[in-house]
Amino acid sequence: MSDGTVKHDLLPHGEMLRQAIRWISARREEDPKIPSVKLIQEAALRFDLSPPEEQFLIANFIQSPSRSDV
């Protein structure tokens, strides 16, 4: 029962997306030169995100302007 799927099934809806966002943010702080697309692709695989969740990340990390510019 330690194959990872049980843990994933027990997490509340959206928790994997939240973990992916935290992971992407941490990676951006470590190395701001890593392209956002690469981080999102890796996060989608690492956190088993659905296509709509991946699109959400793309919309919020790539297509929207930086919040520091506002």
Condensed to tens digits (0 to 9), the pLDDT of residues 6-17 reads: 455 555 568 999
pLDDT for residue 2: 43
Query: What letters, b where the CB count within 10 A reaches 16 and e where it falls short, cover 34-63?
Result: eebeebbeebbeebebeeebbebbbeebee
In a domain, 59, yes or no: yes
Q: Which ranges constitute the DSSP H helices of 31-68?
A: 36-46, 51-58
* Residue 19 CB neighbours (<10 A): 15
**Residue with the larger pLDDT of the pair 17 and 67:** 17
Q: Does a structural domain hold residue 36?
A: yes
Global pTM value: 0.71
Q: How many domains does the chain have?
A: 1
Name the residue range of residue 21's domain: 12-63
The pLDDT of residue 61 is 82
- 44 lies in a domain? yes
Digit-coded pLDDT (tens) for 25-51: 999 999 999 999 999 999 999 999 999
* Residue 23 counted as domain residue: yes
Answer whether 27's CB lies under 8 Å from 34's CB: yes
